[in-house]
Amino acid sequence: MSDPLTAAAPTASSSEPHARRARTPAPQSGFAPWKDPAKAPIVRFENVVKRFGDFVAVKDCTLDIYEREFFALLGPSGCGKTTLLRMLAGFEKPTSGRILVAGEDITNLQPYDRPVNMMFQSYALFPHMTVEQNIGFGLKQEGMPKDQIAVRVEEAMTMLELNRFGKRKPHQLSGGQQQRVALARAIAKKPRIVLLDEPLGALDKRLRQQAQFELMYIQETTGTTFIIVTHDQEEAMTVSSRIAVMDHGEFVQVATPGDIYEAPNSRYVANFIGDVNLFEGKILSQAGGFVEIEWGGGRARFKAVAPAGVSPGQLVWLSLRPEKIRITLDQPADGNNAVEGKVVDIGYLGSISQYHVELSNGEMVKALRANSASTVERPISWEDRVWLEWPADAGVVLTR
C-alpha cells in the first residue's frame, strides 16, 4: 500500500519528449488561516442547497475556504462535488443559500463577472486555435490590448513550460501537454480563485503524479486559491491544505489531510481515506482518558483513547490503520490490545509487506511489516499463527 502521507515525489515522465523537472513546492509551514478567528474566508458557502427536481444534490452546505488554500472536495461519484463547484463558478444557481467571495454575495452574478476561473476535466480547448490563442482567449474576450495579452500568454506558457508548443493545435499535443494548456488558460486571467474539476482525470498514473506536484507548484507560485474536485483520495491527500469529504450532498468531515487520516470522525471517512481495520465493540468502562472496549462478544478487550461523549454499553468501532499494528509470531507479554489469527495472504510491496490475517471470528485484519534484512524473527509466512498488537493510542474510537 502506498501511504498517501509519504507518497514519493514523482520523477519526470519518460513519455514527455524532453523530460521536465518535477518541481516540488516549498511547504507552507504554519499555514492554517482556518484556525485564525481574525481571518475572513475568500469563499463562503452559506446554507447552500441545490435541488434538481425532487432530488437534493447539495444539502444545506456551509463551508469557509481561505485565500491561498488548495482545497479539495472529495467523495464518491454523485455526492455533489461538481455541483458545488459549478455553483461557485456560476454555471448553476443554488436553490437556496448564498455564496460569498471576499465578503461579497456573488450568488446572482454571471460567471464572467466572478473572480473565478474553471478548468474542466475535458480541458475544453478550442481545437481550431493554437496553444497561444487558447491561453489568450479569455483575455481577448475581456478586451485586453494585444501586447498585454502576449505578455500574459508568455508568462503562463513559461510557468507551465509550454513555450515550445505555442504554435501547435491541441490535437498535436499529448494528454499531459493539453492539461497544462488548460491550466495555463485558467491562470492567464489571474483570477483570485481557480476551480479544477477532476483536472488530472485523463492522465495515466505516472503523469498524474507529476501533474499533481506541478499543480502545487503553480498554486504556490501564483498565490492563487485553488479548489479541486476529485474522487481520488491519494490526490486530495497529496495536493491539498484541507479536504472536505462529502457523502450524498453533505460534508462529513472538513480537515487537513493529516487529521482526516489520523483522526477520521466516522467509519465513512476512515474507510474512504487509505486502508483501515474496524473492530466493532461495546464500551465496558471509562477511566483516566481511556475506554475499555469489549470486542467479538468477549473474545478480547481493547484499551483506547476515550472519545468525547461515550458511555458504557455504547456500540463503537475501533479504527486502526494497518501500519499501526505490530505483527509477531510470539504472543506479546502484555496481553492488552492483542488478538491472535492466521496469515491467509501476503502482499509484497517492496520495503514493506501487507499481511491479511483471519481472526478466530472470521474477521480479516490488515497489518504492515517492514521487510528489514536485520530482523531477528524468522519471516512470517502463509498459514502462520500470528499475534497482532498495538498501543492504546494507536487507534481512534468512532461512534458512527
**Nine cell digits for residue 136:** 489568450
Contact between 80 and ligand ATP by CB under 6 A: the answer reads yes
Binding mask 205-234 for ligand ATP (x = CB under 6 A): ------------------------x-x---
Q: At its nearest, how many Å lie between ligand ATP and the CB of residue 82?
A: 3
* Stated length of the chain: 400
Q: Of these, 43, 48, 61, 79, which contacts ligand ATP (CB under 6 A)?
A: 79
Contact between 77 and ligand ATP by CB under 6 A: the answer reads yes
Q: How far is CA 386 from the centre of its chain?
A: 34
Q: At its nearest, how many Å lie between ligand ATP and the CB of residue 229?
A: 6
Pick 155 or 250: Cβ nearer ligand ATP:
250
Pick 247 or 259: Cβ nearer ligand ATP:
247
Q: Of these, 19, 31, 78, 349, which contacts ligand ATP (CB under 6 A)?
A: 78
Q: Which stretch binds ligand ATP (CB under 6 A): 52-60, 98-106, 124-132, 321-329?
A: 52-60
Q: Of these, 4, 75, 176, 257, which contacts ligand ATP (CB under 6 A)?
A: 75
Pick 45 or 295: Cβ nearer ligand ATP:
45
Q: Of these, 13, 48, 61, 82, which contacts ligand ATP (CB under 6 A)?
A: 82
Q: Of these, 44, 81, 242, 321, which contacts ligand ATP (CB under 6 A)?
A: 81
10 phi and psi angles, rounded to 5 deg:
-75, 160
Contact yes or no for 166/146 (Cβ under 8 A): no
Pick 77 or 110: Cβ nearer ligand ATP:
77
Contact yes or no for 184/159 (Cβ under 8 A): yes
Pick 59 or 169: Cβ nearer ligand ATP:
59
Q: At its nearest, how many Å lie between ligand ATP and the CB of residue 249?
A: 7
Q: What are the strands, taking DSSP E only, across 174-241?
A: 193-197, 225-230
How far is Cα 310 from Cα 306, in angstroms, rounded to an integer?
8
How far is Cα 130 from Cα 376, in angstroms, rounded to an integer?
63
Q: What are the strands, taking DSSP E only, across 37-107?
A: 43-52, 55-65, 70-74, 96-101, 104-105
What burial letters (b/e) apply to 203-219, b meaning 16+ CB within 10 Å? Answer: beeebbbbbbbbbbbbb
How far is Cα 257 from Cα 71, in angstroms, rounded to an integer?
10
Phi-psi region of 93 (alpha: psi -120 to 50; beta: other; left: phi over 0): beta
Q: Which stretch binds ligand ATP (CB under 6 A): 50-58, 139-147, 158-166, 172-180?
A: 50-58
How far is Cα 109 from Cα 90, in angstroms, rounded to an integer?
7
Say whether 56 sits in a helix, a strand or coil. Answer: strand
Q: At its nearest, how many Å lie between ligand ATP and the CB of residue 142?
A: 28
Pick 165 or 272: Cβ nearer ligand ATP:
272
Contact between 90 and ligand ATP by CB under 6 A: the answer reads no
Q: At its nearest, how many Å lie between ligand ATP and the CB of residue 184?
A: 24
Q: Which stretch binds ligand ATP (CB under 6 A): 51-59, 132-140, 250-258, 370-378?
A: 51-59
- Neighbour order of strands in the sheet with 300-305: 300-305, 290-295, 277-287, 315-320, 396-398
Q: At its nearest, how many Å lie between ligand ATP and the CB of residue 278?
A: 24
Q: How far is CA 214 from the centre of its chain?
A: 16
Residues that bind ligand ATP (CB under 6 A): 52, 55, 57, 75, 77-83, 229, 231
